[in-house]
Amino acid sequence: MCHACKKAANGRDGMMRSLDRSQRQVRQTLTAWSFILPSLIGLGIFVYGSLVYSLYISFTSWDLLTPAKWVGFANYARVFRDETFIQCLYNTVYFVVAIVPLGIVFAMAMAMALNKQLPGIGFFRAAYYMPSITSTIAIGMVWLWIFNPDQGVLNALLKLIGVSNPPRWLESRVWAKPALSIMRLWQVSGYYMIMYLSGLQNIPNELYEAAEIDGATGWQKTKYVTVPLLSNTTLFATIMLIIEVFNLFEAVYVMTEGRPGGSTNTILYYIYAQAFQRYRMGYASAMAWVLFVILFVITLIQFAARRRKEEIGF
């Protein structure tokens, strides 16, 4: 037992007994608050306070140097007429379509392949997971060079297998988006694989045994037992992946800066550029709120869809 606090407590023993109940309750409340107060104060300033402040800024025109001017809904009205914002939104939807379904399939397939007790499986898990712990900035620079049309390894490989005129990747309006999608898929799949691995470990073995007695083949077991029972993980992973794609920033920052011709520009990169390169704090804040609302609605829709599915009895 703790020696120090025993000693300290001995002296207080008599005093404690004489305290009546309400006094003791006050004491407990004070103690409880003293535990949470440091966190609450910090979060109050840097999160809740910032949220209110951000909402206020979004209704002003402000360049940091001159005082903010109240402009009402002008920033929000501008967001939806801004062609660059619309383009960013389109690009983001493209990335969602290119990355989310494939990411889910890769992650699930990798997890199923690695959910076995075979020699060396730990090595493969670590290898697949490694890209997701590496900084996007550093590994983005490596990929920038991999995609280099003349000196990069990817085109050297394509030429080796007989592609005479390989794509110009990040320099091409057509191929820049697929290139970024490939890089992101490579980087994030391993993270979701671990999520699926934990999902797989929660599936009781009896279900597979029962399916085997009914004469199910390996593929049927996957289709009728594994995939449906992973649907919770899939819902969660899908939401997180969509949010992740909407927040695509660092890869764009090091690899393309939104080029060529804005074809890889994303909402977050555009917000960053407006705020910290053009100093349009009000407009950037309005866009940040629009992005927030979009993400919130997507999450709600997915949960609602899930509930409906359950009602139907899927």
49 in helix, strand or coil?
helix
Tell me the closest approach of the beta carbon of residue 222 to another protein, in angstroms. Answer: 14
Spell 272-305 as b/e; 16+ CB within 10 A means b: ebbbeeeebbbbbbbbbbbbeeeeeebeeeeeee
Spell 245-266 as b/e; 16+ CB within 10 A means b: bbebbbbbbbbbebebebbbbb
> Is residue 107 close enough to count as binding another protein by CB under 8 A?
no
Instruction: Report the residue number, 125 or 184, with the smaller CB distance to another protein.
Output: 125
Tell me the closest approach of the beta carbon of residue 258 to another protein, in angstroms. Answer: 15
* Six token digits for residue 151: 């000196």
> Is residue 4 close enough to count as binding another protein by CB under 8 A?
yes
Tell me the closest approach of the beta carbon of residue 313 to another protein, in angstroms. Answer: 25
Rounded to whole angstroms, the Cα distance separating 111 from 190 reads 9
> Is residue 161 close enough to count as binding another protein by CB under 8 A?
no
Rounded to whole angstroms, the Cα distance separating 242 from 257 reads 21
User: Rule CB under 8 A: which of 68-97 touch another protein?
Assistant: none
Instruction: Report the residue number, 35 or 314, with the smaller CB distance to another protein.
Output: 35
User: Rule CB under 8 A: which of 230-269 touch another protein?
Assistant: 233, 236, 240, 243-244, 246-247, 249-250, 253-254, 268
> Is residue 47 close enough to count as binding another protein by CB under 8 A?
yes
User: Rule CB under 8 A: which of 112-131 touch another protein?
Assistant: 113-114, 118, 123-131
> Is residue 12 close enough to count as binding another protein by CB under 8 A?
yes
Binding test (CB under 8 A) with another protein, winner from 75, 98, 284, 306: 284
> Is residue 227 close enough to count as binding another protein by CB under 8 A?
no
* Six token digits for residue 141: 């620079």
- Per DSSP, 45 falls in state I
User: Rule CB under 8 A: which of 183-222 touch another protein?
Assistant: 186, 190-191, 194-195, 197-198
Instruction: Report the residue number, 74 or 298, with the smaller CB distance to another protein.
Output: 298
- Per DSSP, 87 falls in state H
C-beta of residue 270 within 8 angstroms of C-beta of residue 287: yes
